[in-house]
Every structure is written in structure tokens, then in C-alpha cells.
A and B are shown apart, each in its own frame.
Chain A
Amino acid sequence: MLCIFCPHCGEYREEEEFSARGQAHIKRPEDPEACSDEEWGNYMFFRKNPKGLHHELWVHSAGCGKFFNMTRDTVSYEIKETYKIGEQPSVVAAEK
């Protein structure tokens, strides 16, 4: 079991209280009508699947019910940090 720090409750809780909700920081296009089909399709359906650092959206579903973001290593499962929606991660992958 992983112990996950909820930034809203301010303490570590068991993984069982949380649900993962996919990639974080997905920005809805400002003007959907102006998108090409490809741009809209990428926004709607295409997600990153990195080997290594990944930024994910999680929800403390059995606790406070709030969403937050997590930086996690998809190889080691190590959780680098959790942070509130609207904040930026401090741990990021090096640009390739």
C-alpha cells in the first residue's frame, strides 16, 4: 500500500482512500470552435504515457473529496510530491 499525502487534509492517508483520475494539467482549448479535428481529438483522447516522471490528477474520494495533483515515477512508483490544483509541480522531467 502507498501512503499518499493529501494537500487538503494535510496528512498522509492510505492509498485505499484515493482514486487516480489520469493525466494532470490538461488545458481545455480556449476556443473549441476554432480547433481542427486533430487538435480537438488530441485534447479529448490523447494522453501521455511516460516511463518515469508523470503528473497525475488524484482525488481523495473516501476522505475530503478534493482533487489534487501528484508527481509520480511510473517506473519505481515513488511519489515525488502532491500539490493543489492550480499550483505547478516542483519536480519535473528534464527536457529531451
Chain B
Amino acid sequence: MSEAAETQSEIFAQMDQVPAAGSDVIAESPLSNFHWKTTGAEAGVTLSEQGLAGHLVLRSAGNSSFEAAVEKVLGMSLPGPLQSVSDDSGRVIRWTSPDEWLLTVSNSDAFSVEQQLRAEASGHYSIVNVSGGQTILMLSGDSAEMVLMKTCHYDTHESSFPVGKVVRTTFAKSGALIRRVGESEWELIIRRSFSDYLALWLQDAAGEYGLQII
């Protein structure tokens, strides 16, 4: 660990946000108590919540030490504008702003990844664990794109929104970070405080195509 990295660990209070084994604190995803109304029959839209993932906001404005740390710890480079990168284990880095990225890892890895990045990087950067503040919804199926077209005004056509692209935009009366994962598979990252509202919205929007929850 470099001297600069040591100083950083002392300055920033780091906390593992995952309840310790044997703790009586129950981890619940934002939509764990939501009662979905599914249509049962032919489902054109499939929704699933990938709750309780580790979400880390990475910020750096051209700090090469931080960029190298990301490459060393994650084996991926910070992607350019509106792009994302992912690895086989399901870790994803999404560009959200010229000096900001959202990294998702498994819940149990979030703290160790943060510590490893801090140990490697020096200089001016920031890592914030926002796992408790947002959740991931996976939207797929033949009519998934129709649901998006009702919900946001961004052009979802493949020529404007190819697989791998990431767009943060208005979503219903809230906002979402949208990533196209496959031709008919989309990832939505939404705020915890809006999750009930957006779940109701998506349930309503998907109703006419048939909704299935997995």
C-alpha cells in the first residue's frame, strides 16, 4: 500500500454495509414487499429485481493512478461516454458522466472491492457505496421495448440504443440509468425511494402485453 493510499484510508470512514453473519438485521431489497400483479397467460414482458447488489459510484477526472487501479482490481477499463463494460462474473462498469461511473458487483464483494481500489489508487478520486439507495430491474421479452417507449422519450431503436449503451434519462416521472443488455433485454437502475412508484408504473405499462415476474 502506498503512503498516499494509507492516508486516504485514514481519512475516509469505510464501512461494510452488508449485515454480519448471524446478525438479526434483515437485508431487504426495495421491492421485497411489493405485491406484483402478474397476468399469468402469455407474457410479452418479464421483470425481475436484482436487489441487494453492491453499487459503487466511482469518480475521477483524468487521474491515471485511479484508472490503473480499476484495471488492476477489476480487469476492466473505465468505459467512455454512454458505454459500459462487463466481465463474466457479472460485474459491470457504466459511464454516467465525464468523471463518474457506476460499478456494480455482488453485495458481498462491494466492501472488499472498495478497499482494494483504495489500496491501489492515489491522488484525487472518490468511491461511494450507494448500494442502499438504488436497485436494479431487469426488463426483457418481446414487448419490453414497447414498455420503455411508453415510459421514456429516448429513442430505443438499435441504431440509437445499441447493446452495451448506457443512458441516464427521465423515466416516467422519475429517472433511470438504462443499459441495453441484449436485443430485447434491458437493465434499469432506479432510486430506492422511487421503486414503488416505478414498479406500479411498469406493472401498468406492461399489463397489456402480459407481465411475468421472475
Contacts and interface: CB of A to CB of B under 8 A. Distances in A.
B82 A16 contact: no
A9 B153 contact: no
Interface residues of B, number: 13
B132 interface: no
A13 B169 CA distance: 9
Given A10-B81, A10-B82, A11-B82, A62 B169 contact: yes
Contacts of B170: 14, 16-17, 62
Interface string A7-24: 011110110110000000
Given A13-B169, A17-B169, A17-B170, A64 B98 contact: yes
B184 interface: no
B153 A14 contact: yes
Given A64-B98, A66-B97, A9 B81 contact: yes
B96 interface: yes
A29 interface: no
Contacts of B175: 62
Contacts of A62: 168-170, 175
A13 B96 CA distance: 15
A63 interface: yes
Contacts of B100: 64-65
A8 B82 CA distance: 10
A2 to B, nearest CB: 12
Interface in A46-86: 62-66
Interface of B: 81-82, 96-98, 100, 153-154, 167-170, 175
Interface of A: 8-11, 13-14, 16-17, 62-66
